[in-house]
Amino acid sequence: MYVENVIEKVKLKYPDQKEFHQAVQEVFTSLALVIKKDKKYQESAILERLVIPDREIYFRVNWVNDVGKIQVNQGYRIEFNAAIGPYKGGLRFHPSVNAGIIKFLGFEQVFKNSLTTLHLGGGKGGSDFDPKNKSDGEVMRFCQAFMNELYRHIGPYTDIPAGDIGVGGREIGYLFGQYRKLTNRFEGALTGKRFDWGGSLMRPEATGYGCVYFAEEMLKERGETLAGKICTISGSGNVAIYTVEKLYHLGAKPVTVSDSKGMIYDEAGIDVALLKELKEIKRVSLEEYIKFRTNAKYIKVGDYKEDTNAVWSIPCFAAFPSATENELNGKDAKTLLQNGCKCVSEGANMPSTLEALDLFLRAKICYGPAKAANAGGVAVSGLEMSQNASMHPWDFETVDKKLHNIMENIFSISSQTAKEFAEPTNLVLGANIAGFRKVADAMIDQGV
């Protein structure tokens, strides 16, 4: 009853924040067993404390576009929980951003960061600013204006933002430049910086590579590998690109990518160099892909069945949702399972609806929930913080090896915890309980 009551109160108190309800429901439902077993969590009101962020910062961002017109956006930084380390989590720039989206992402980040084994608390931020079709100058002026407020809330031992949707190396550069000018300090207050001025090697690759390493771990336990297998990927941004790249390293065949306008099905295998050129350099629609790869198919959003994502209609052994929340619903999950999909490793945050998640768990396929499978990105951000603090950069192999170890550890603690609660294949339960315990115990240790 305790768990259900807290979930209900969240829904009543924040009626518009649907994504936040969904994340709370997903995490708390799987905590029921540990809450029942260990009375201290209820006695310390841990769930009530976890659903209210330590601090929510909402601010206005004024900037001037290329034709001299004043633009106004909403900025957010939600500092959720710092029991095990400074607030850490990305910034998302996308027109769909609102308080509910940032809260769901910040809430998830608390447990994800706990799983990394590093000392990182959880937070998230962003803006409804849309970087699409903006000039570099406009993006720079927006980032500078955003930092004019954000700088007073962040710092290497307080809160360390990074990238997420719409925030990559270019945006982190402008944000860092403004932070440095305002504070006169060169310090690791942001991660995802370019290597030459304080970034970590492997940070751009980390989320995608980590997500594939996690899939490998899940499959290994069942005596399977990705070699020679057809894989489908949604999205075509940072996470998707490096998922595709790592799948090739392991001998798999990635055949799809997508963006908000449509998807590519390239039966011969996605051309990763072309993908990088189109998305990292030219920043154009995926429709351009078929000009260079004439045998590939392009399916526009809207040209496929309503209420389903065309990516998940392509038969595959393993699926890697890497675009955005709720991009894979119950219908999509059924299609994947009917087509023989054996593994889903989530690169995006909360890409599966609750119905889809339930179907994957019941089918007992290898299902790697986002907070475990995509934790490689924030983990390498944590490694970037270590390198900044020691002023000593590590080489690519060192960071890759540490990332690999972290992903193995996340699988192992999630799987062991799932076994402890007699649900051996349920990594949702395992990851949620393992992530929760560390944070909740720290909160109890540190008093009310």
What does the alpha-carbon distance between residue 428 and residue 41 come to, in Å, rounded to a whole number? 20
Residue among 75 and 131 whose Cβ is closer to ligand NDP: 131
**Least spacing, CB of residue 133 vs ligand NDP, in Å:** 11
**Catalytic hit among 124, 246, 253, 331:** 124
For 345, the enclosing helix (H) or strand (E) is strand 343-345
What does the alpha-carbon distance between residue 414 and residue 433 come to, in Å, rounded to a whole number? 8
Tell whether residue 116 is a contact of ligand NDP (CB under 6 A). Answer: no
Q: Which does 235 bind (CB under 5 to 8 A by kind): ligand 2IT, ligand NDP, none?
A: ligand NDP
Q: Which does 243 bind (CB under 5 to 8 A by kind): ligand NDP, ligand 2IT, none?
A: none
Provide the 10 A C-beta neighbour count for residue 16. Answer: 9
**Least spacing, CB of residue 174 vs ligand NDP, in Å:** 16
**Least spacing, CB of residue 112 vs ligand 2IT, in Å:** 6
Which 213-272 positions form the footprint of ligand NDP (CB under 6 A)?
Answer: 235-240, 259-261
What does the alpha-carbon distance between residue 425 and residue 161 come to, in Å, rounded to a whole number? 33
What does the alpha-carbon distance between residue 180 and residue 176 come to, in Å, rounded to a whole number? 6
Tell whether residue 123 is a contact of ligand NDP (CB under 6 A). Answer: no
Stretches 43-51, 138-146, 316-324, 335-343: which one binds ligand NDP (CB under 6 A)?
A: 316-324
Residue among 34 and 189 whose Cβ is closer to ligand 2IT: 189
**Least spacing, CB of residue 420 vs ligand 2IT, in Å:** 26
**Least spacing, CB of residue 236 vs ligand NDP, in Å:** 4
What does the alpha-carbon distance between residue 256 and residue 392 come to, in Å, rounded to a whole number? 39
Q: Which does 283 bind (CB under 5 to 8 A by kind): ligand NDP, ligand 2IT, none?
A: none
CB distance 279 to 237 below 8 Å = yes
Comparing every residue's Cβ against ligand 2IT, the nearest one is 90
Strand partners, 89: 161
b/e string for 174-212 if b means 16 or more Cβ within 10 A?
bbbebbbeeeeeebbbbbbbebeebbbbbbbbbbbbbbb
Tell whether residue 349 is a contact of ligand NDP (CB under 6 A). Answer: yes
CB distance 225 to 216 below 8 Å = yes
Can 276 be counted among the known catalytic residues? no
Secondary structure, 3-state, 294-310: CCCEEEECCCCCCCCCH
CA-wise closest residue to 202 among 411, 387, 381, 386: 381
Which 164-223 positions form the footprint of ligand NDP (CB under 6 A)?
Answer: 164-166, 168, 207
> Which two tokens mark 356?
């889809």
**Least spacing, CB of residue 372 vs ligand NDP, in Å:** 11
Stretches 62-70, 176-184, 248-256, 343-351: which one binds ligand NDP (CB under 6 A)?
A: 343-351
Residue among 34 and 57 whose Cβ is closer to ligand 2IT: 57
Kindly give, in sequence order, each residue whose CB lies less than 8 Å from that of residue 16, ignoring residues fewer than 6 positions away: 100
**Contacting residues toward ligand NDP, per CB under 6 A:** 96, 163-166, 168, 207, 235-240, 259-261, 322-324, 347-349, 374, 377
Catalytic residues: 124
